Amino acid sequence: MLTLDDIQSWPKAELHSHLDGAMRLTTMIEMADQQGKRNLLPASSLEGLKIELAKIDHSANLHEYLAWFKYTIGLMQSEEALHRIAFEMAEDFAKENVRYVEVRFGPVLHTQEGLTLEQVLDAVIAGLEQAKSTYGIEYGIIVCALRDRFVEASLEQAHLAVRYAKRGVVAFDLAGAEAGNPAKQHLEAFYYARNHLLGLTVHAGESWGPESIHQALFFCGAHRIGHGITLNQDPELLNFVRDHQIPLEICPTSNVQTQVVSSYEEHPIAELVRSGVAVTINTDSRLFSHTNSSGELFLAHTRCGLTAEETREVVLNGFKHAFLSHKRKMELLEEAKSLISI
């Protein structure tokens, strides 16, 4: 049996982490005070915030879970705030031995008080660059379009992502509630991103059935699937995903919180791994899921049923399936193989 310290010591890659879900609680309070937005928060003290944010564990569905992000997004409307949060997010990952992190967010969500899309991205890049120079952690940025926005909005985000492709952006994503917001409505944005050689990932099969995964793959051309928990409901699609080694970005705690699965013990991750699907394990939201990369891997091992060998496999998958150059992926992968022993 692996210990949490064992996993903490392993080099890791984080492929699915939302910037607006990675704020520290102490930072929330400090920023609310600095910005005169204390009334934005559901509680005024650190302990009160912990109690209030624990309620997210009882979300009825993904829609209720996503509603909690209003508390962070409202504080992320200045360059200073975005720089700080990006730096602290990468710093927290670096301190648990994450060597490479992909940070995703929807830039348009941070333009509510006058910032341009470019100012938003520049501020995040500056924060991540500071963390890279301080801790050596490498990063990639995934620009998220939003399922419930107009097609024109998602195309604008795709154009933004392409403009920053040589400045840290590695992929384009579609996030938000799946119900009533099919991915195929955003084909033009994905065509543009794909035609300009960006990596593609889509949140799918998180709160909707395998048909959502099907759309992500065959309409949007996704290279990876965010979550993909409902994949095992369609054996033929599962075989396709396995045979083509299309990776799933699984986030166990988030999946339990959003009621996609009833418990860690009922999570299909072990079944997917044993079916030969390329699985990665990620945090989704460090803040709202009260977690980190090591903690998610430890839960997958101790409660979701992964063996020590399988846990090592999914850690290595994080490097194999990162949106990095093949050369850099292989360098990080070989280093990780040499350092992860069971």
Category of 227 on φ-ψ map: left (φ > 0), alpha (ψ -120 to 50) or beta:
left
Q: What is the dihedral of CA 287, 291, 293, 298, to 10 degrees?
A: -170
Instruction: Count structural domains, the chain.
Output: 1
- What is the reported pLDDT for 216? 97
Give me the mean pLDDT over the 35-59 stretch: 91
Please tell me the predicted confidence (pLDDT) of residue 288: 94
Task: Say which CATH number the domain at 284 has.
Answer: 3.20.20.140
How remote is the C-alpha of 74 from its chain's centroid? 20
pLDDT at 203: 97
Sign of torsion, CA 77 200 174 92?
A: negative
- pLDDT of residue 179 exceeding 90, the answer is no
Residue 139 is predicted with a pLDDT of 98
For residues 298 and 325, give the distance between their C-alpha atoms in angstroms, rounded to a whole number: 29
Alpha-carbon span 316 to 160, nearest angstrom = 31
Alpha-helix runs per DSSP H in 136-278: 151-163, 187-195, 210-218, 235-243, 252-257, 269-274
Q: Are 181 and 173 in contact (CB under 8 A)?
A: no
Contact 174, 144 (CB under 8 A): yes
| pTM attached to this predicted model | 0.97
Residue 122 domain boundaries: 4-339
Convert the pLDDT of each residue in 305-317 to its tens digit.
999 999 999 999 9
Local confidence band at 68 (pLDDT 50, 70, 90 cut-offs): confident
pLDDT of residue 213: 97
The answer to whether residues 225 and 240 touch, using CB atoms and an 8 Å cutoff, is: no
Look at residue 267 in the predicted model and tell me its pLDDT.
98
C-alpha 278: how far from its chain's center?
16
By annotation, the residues acting in catalysis are 206
342 has pLDDT over 90: no
User: For tokens 């996704």, what's the residue?
Assistant: 222
Residues 299-302: contacts with CB under 8 Å, at least 24 apart = 299/252, 299/253, 299/264, 300/252, 300/267, 300/269, 301/1, 301/2, 301/7, 302/1
- Give the tokens for residue 97: 């031995």
Query: What single DSSP character describes residue 304?
Result: S
For residue 252, which amino acid is it?
P
The angle formed by the CA atoms of residues 218, 243 and 144, to the nearest 5 degrees, is: 40
3-state helix, strand, coil in the chain (%, to 5): 55, 15, 35
What tens digit of pLDDT does each residue of 229-280 get? Answer: 999 999 999 999 999 999 999 999 999 999 999 999 999 999 999 999 999 9
Contacts of 310 (CB under 8 A, 6+ apart): 270, 273, 274
Helix 235-243 / helix 210-218 crossing angle, nearest 10 deg: 40
Q: Is the four-CA dihedral 97, 100, 101, 107 of positive or negative sign? A: positive
**Six-digit token string for 102:** 């992909």
Tell me how far the alpha carbon of residue 286 is from its chain's centroid: 10
Q: What is the mean pLDDT of residues 25-52?
A: 93
